[in-house]
Amino acid sequence: MINISRILVCFVGYLMIPASCFPPDIQALSILERAAPVAPDGYTPAVVSCPAHRPTIRAATGLSTNETDWLPLRTNNTVQAMKDVLSRANISGLDTGRYIDNLTNAGTGLPRVAIAISGGGYRALMNGAGALAAFDNRSTNATETGHLGGLLQSATYLSGLSGGSWLVGSLYVQNFTSVESIISATDGFLSTIWQFDHSILNGPDGLSITKYYRQLFDDVDGKRDAGFNTTITDYWGRALSYQLVDPSDGGPAFTFSSISNDTDFTSAQAPLPLIVAIERTSGQLQIASNSTIFEFNPWEMGSYDPGLEAFAPLQFVGSNFTNGSIPRNGSCIAGVDNAGFVMGTSSSLFNQAFLQIGRVEGVPEFLISAINATLANVGTENRDIANWPNPFFRYNSSGNLNANSTVLALVDGGEDLQNIPLHPLLLAEREVDVVFAVDGSADTATLWPNGTAMVATFNRSEARVSSNDSRFPDVPDQNTFVNLGLNQRPTFFGCTNGSNTPRGPLIVYMPNAPYSFQSNVSTFDLEYSIEERNQIIQNGYNMATMGNGTVDSNWPACIGCAILARSLVRTRTRVPSKCADCFARYCWNGTTNNTLPNTYEPAQILANTTEQSTSSAARISGTLLLGCFAFMLAI
């Protein structure tokens, strides 16, 4: 029997991806989780059988074997997407398809692309989501003229920090689904996540506030009873999971390390996700610019920085490691790396916002008492920490700043002002050529970015904190960012005029700006209507594409030139005139103006966006409609 209502959804309503055209069994194929609920006892870490090769700590003398084995697979998988992006860029004077083929055949290496999504709460998540939707060839119309679809499929690394980690983590838990699939979904197809109109303080729709907080309490209490240190971050991470992982119970058994066992991930069908946090050593309250920066990837957690230079296998990070190994009579423990806890660790600055729950009507007293007790144990000055079992206990005492502590204290990845997660992408051995740095920070009084994150990373690079990193390109001061408009349009940093060899990746700085919506919402706003959510995401899309090329019709070509910039130098290929024009237009030329700017209040960049958005949403391929209709007739 034909389901007429399902067919109608193909024609009206959510036209971007009409998943409801398909019956439930087909829909389910689209939402199989990439991460998996494999923790042995829900949110409570527990003993598991040790693998034949018992877990050990790895000295960070280079990339892990997992990563070096994975990289060639990912490179091969990016070839066609990169050729498609460059072909649409239409860079006259260079046969980009032949150029990429020659690189592949010669084995000299394709351009290596990375994307970094900044912190900044829900604003950063939504702004970054718009950019990723623009970069994703699965988005409707994303491969048409003026669009940038395929850039995500060309990327090798995708890093997130704080609010950006919510975006990265959420997408990977949901089988690296598309942003569009989430925001245009209907009942039965991913529509239950990213429902920001239901505040994280009140819990998801359909779950009573009492049951919501009872589940939070029981999960964290179980971890505490098992002998693990807990902090406000545990509650925060569990609450996040109801919006980002699973609204029914927060997915207490979903682990970040389980991504490494997914077939699509092991075959490198998506970029390598990297989530960033910072170590706070014992007694340290102020986060210094040279603090040890931690990264989480599906295989391991640790740092290449001189304060540690070691990595632990993420799945077993709760085990009783001592001096780099688990004693023969020691047990292997799994489940510490809950996906929400990893995202919560990277965004622990929001613990303070979460403490507002005392003002929410209906919150049970037992939870408030438990949170107050937790806060009393760590002290108010440590309300932003996430306590992890320290797998580096007594490991390399001469170089490990926390070698004598059984607890590893990590904090929000942006607390050192490096609010764009660029650090792991500067590691020289990762050989990144270009980073698309999406900045949703709120640096100015009016909550727009002003390049502070770029300046902080530059200052750390200049201090030579880590010899393992490539040098970060020169950037101007924050006043110059505003005075020259570098915080209102994309800017390339690290360009070369051909007379010098670049020492690190080209940075394509992409700041949040009011293209179609005033997206400068507060970092600590915890509730957004669905319309506001979608408008901010759409603004991020417009920011990344410069209004689908309406602000600059050459922007897609300039993106292509940025991808090729380092490779052209390596291969001593003449820079096409189109690229020379792009570099002249978008490369920072060293000019500064450090006078104090007036209050930054930018005007909306695109006009008539309501009409444009409506017509854009209404466009859908006739082939897709007919195909959907024919499919329904056949079932």
For residues 112-124, one letter each, b for 16 or more C-beta atoms within 10 angstroms of the residue's C-beta and e for the rest, the string is bbbbbbbbbbbbb
Task: Give whole-number Cα distances, 293 to 224, 507, 607, in Å.
Answer: 27, 20, 42
How does DSSP classify residue 143? T
d(Cα 391, Cα 407) in Å, to the nearest integer?
9
Q: Which domains does the chain have, with CATH numbers?
A: 40-612 (3.40.1090.10)
What pLDDT does residue 361 have?
A: 76
Residue type, 492: F
Structure tokens of 25?
């069994």
DSSP, collapsed to helix, strand or coil, labels residue 311 as strand
d(Cα 371, Cα 234) in Å, to the nearest integer?
10
- For residue 311, list its beta bridge partners: 58, 302
What pLDDT does residue 97 have?
A: 96
Q: Are strands 332-334 and 58-59 parallel, antiparallel or unpaired?
A: unpaired
Helices and strands per DSSP (H, E), number in the chain: 21, 17
Which of 251, 243, 295 has the alpha carbon at shortest distance from 272?
295
DSSP 552-601: -TTHHHHHHHHHHHHHHHHTTPPPPHHHHHHHHHHB--S----SPPPP--
Whether the Cβ atoms of residue 575 and residue 445 lie closer than 8 Å to each other: no
What is the C-alpha R_g of the chain? Answer: 24
Alpha helices in 205-335 (DSSP H): 209-225, 232-244, 263-266
Structure tokens of 321?
């490691």
Whether the Cβ atoms of residue 103 and residue 109 lie closer than 8 Å to each other: yes
DSSP 145-192: TT--TTHHHHEEEEEEETHHHHHHHHHHHTTT--HHHHHT--TTTTTT
How does DSSP classify residue 613? H
User: Which own/partner contact pairs does 358-363 have at CB distance under 8 Å and 24+ positions apart?
Assistant: 360/201, 360/202, 360/209, 362/209, 362/210, 363/209, 363/213
Counting Cα atoms < 13 Å in the Cβ hemisphere of 299 gives: 15
Whether the Cβ atoms of residue 35 and residue 172 lie closer than 8 Å to each other: yes
Residue type, 155: A
d(Cα 566, Cα 498) in Å, to the nearest integer?
10
What pLDDT does residue 289 have?
A: 74
- For residue 507, list its beta bridge partners: 435, 493
d(Cα 607, Cα 532) in Å, to the nearest integer?
18
φ and ψ at residue 530, rounded to 5 degrees: -60, -35
Total length of the chain: 635
- Cα 192–chain centre separation: 20
Task: Give whole-number Cα distances, 340 to 45, 100, 237, 552, in Å.
Answer: 14, 39, 5, 39
Helix (H) or strand (E) holding 254: strand 254-255
> Which residue matches tokens 């920066």?
293
- For residue 469, list its beta bridge partners: 427
Sign of the alpha-carbon torsion through 337, 371, 408, 163 = positive
- For residue 610, list its beta bridge partners: none
Q: Show the low-confidence residues of the chain (pLDDT under 70).
A: 1-34, 185-191, 282-286, 355, 358, 375-382, 497-500, 608-635
Whether the Cβ atoms of residue 245 and residue 175 lie closer than 8 Å to each other: no
- Cα 258–chain centre separation: 17
What pLDDT does residue 374 have?
A: 72
Helix (H) or strand (E) holding 296: strand 293-296
DSSP 344-413: HHHTGGGHHHHGGGGGSTT--HHHHHHHHHHHHHH-GGGTT-EEEE-TTTTSSTTT-TTTT-SEEEEEET
Other CB atoms within 10 A of residue 160 CB: 34
Which of 184, 121, 70, 609 has the alpha carbon at shortest distance from 413?
121
Whether the Cβ atoms of residue 459 and residue 571 lie closer than 8 Å to each other: no
d(Cα 132, Cα 507) in Å, to the nearest integer?
17
Q: Are strands 155-161 and 113-117 parallel, antiparallel or unpaired?
A: parallel
- For residue 509, list its beta bridge partners: 437, 491
Structure tokens of 445?
């009084």
d(Cα 42, Cα 39) in Å, to the nearest integer?
6
- Sequence-separated (6 or more) residues with CB below 8 Å from residue 617: 15, 16
